Amino acid sequence: MLAGPLMMHLSYTLRRRFRGHWLPASSAVICSYVLVSLTSFPLPMEGSAHPRICPEVVERIMRPRPSSPCSHLLDDPKLCVAMVGLPARGKSYIAKKLAYYLNWVDMSARIFNLGEYRRRLVGAESPAEFFHPDNDAARETRRRLAMTAMDDMFAWMDSGGMVGIIDATNSTIQRRTEVVARCKERGIDTFFVESVCNDDEQVFKNIMQVKVRLVDYKAMKIEDAIADFKERIDYYKTRYIPLNPDMDASLSFITMVDVGRHFTIHSLQGYIQMRIVRYLVNLHLKPRVIYLSRHGESEYNVQQLIGGDSDLTPRGEQYALALREFMSKENVPNLEVWCSTMRRAIQTVRHFSRVQSWKALDELNAGECDGMTYEETKLRFPDMYDQRERDKYHTRYPRGESYADLVERLEPRLLELERVQNVLVVCHQAVARCLLAYFQNVDDIEAELPYMEVPLHTIIKITPLPTGCDIEMFPLGVNGVNTHRPRLSSSTSLSVHPKE
């Protein structure tokens, strides 16, 4: 049962190692066997007829490679994720979060929202009657819009997209059957994500926070908009048939009740579906705040040295006190405090109690460049330096990590960040960039993430909302060196502007 998903996991891992090339599962197993063999066999005695395996050989095998002209021959797995549920049940929220996550872990994802197709092709101001089950003309129009969205998804997948998310109600067996059939014609698997909300108060909150703000209701009074949308929901209820493990035995799906209170998971197929479920079961709608900060200024920061495990400078110690004072004024209930295992991070949170230290939050591993200046790395490793200037996201330090490796390392901590409520994370520049890129939903992760500006002695406050994340920056007034290195090209890097 697990053989297929495990093979896909190996294939996905090796895809990251080989600069975006997807290896078929069988090739992944073969490559993994070769690598294990190279590193597991005992070294022969001197004089043996067998050649000695050099560790550098293994390193070269796993080193990132330039894109191959044959990469188009390697098949990428495709998946259609189809949302299911009544209006105002959080489907779009879940779809957006899932797309953020998949793009962050290098699985290209795009949302195809049926409401946007309706507004663009039919018109925004569609009254509740447009959704009446007996309005045959409108029902056929909605079906055509759904098929148009799927056509666009297929075209996007043909150009390299991996996971298409159909954000619609898909509330009838007929519609879901049609979605599966069209995907099957193209050899694409379908996974349904159903959102059920039995909390009337939460449904009303969703209507007030999201629905009445839509362009559909810009000419209406709020009370009229609420009444119209509730009527729309009532029309959908007359035809809505929830997913059921007995009736839908052939389908793969997850049903989420009240976004986190209860789950039904049925017939997962493949590694991507397993990974999606692992992410979704950590989501919740409880109000929360995430505070993100780099450690205080360190001795290596002042000397412009890479990596290391140095202590804080006096200004770094001053920031540690300022950080504690700031968080005391925020007065956040049940605050968790996380930091890395490196001295400069631990010293920054020394004035907090109940601190959790995580190895996953350690700074990007600079390998043989640890303790050097950037100028020294250019002299000693000119090829790596030039490659990193061209592709900073994928290029590894010698015997170290790349940003792509760091994202993979951080994924379990990100899932935990989605699960907990209020947390302060004290980490490092590269780590903060990776986490901030996820919450900001950065468009081009590979191009923008490595150049995001995250200054020292500044707190980033992230407040997740139904429509995205509100992100504020609070410099605490403690001077510190600037460690940001902009890209050499003329294009500008992404940065968050401090809150005055």
Q: Active-site residue numbers?
A: 167, 197, 295, 363
Which residue in the block uniquely carries the two structure tokens 């460690």? 483
Cα–Cα distance, 491 to 264 (Å, whole number): 46
Which residue in the block uniquely carries the two structure tokens 């920031």? 319
Residues sharing a CB contact under 8 Å with residue 136, sequence separation 6 or more, in sequence order: none
Cα–Cα distance, 340 to 426 (Å, whole number): 7
Cα–Cα distance, 436 to 462 (Å, whole number): 9
Cα atoms found within 13 Å of the Cα of residue 400, Cβ hemisphere only: 23
What distance separates the 2 farthest-apart alpha carbons in the chain?
89
- CB neighbours (10 Å) of residue 500? 6
Q: Give the sheet arrangement for strand 423-427, strand by strand.
A: 355-357, 336-339, 423-427, 290-294, 458-465, 468-475
Q: Is 178 exposed, middle or buried (0-12, 13-18, 19+ CB in 10 A)?
A: middle
Of 81, 100, 94, 212, the closest CA to residue 149 belongs to: 81
Whether 445 and 357 have beta carbons less than 8 Å apart is answered as: no
SS3 content of the chain, % helix, strand, coil (to 5): 45, 15, 40
Q: Between 91-104 and 429-440, two packed helices, what is the crossing angle to 10 degrees?
A: 150
SS3 89: coil
Of 287, 396, 369, the closest CA to residue 332 belongs to: 287
Q: Give the sheet arrangement for strand 109-113, strand by strand.
A: 109-113, 163-167, 79-84, 189-196, 252-257, 262-266
Cα–Cα distance, 415 to 276 (Å, whole number): 11
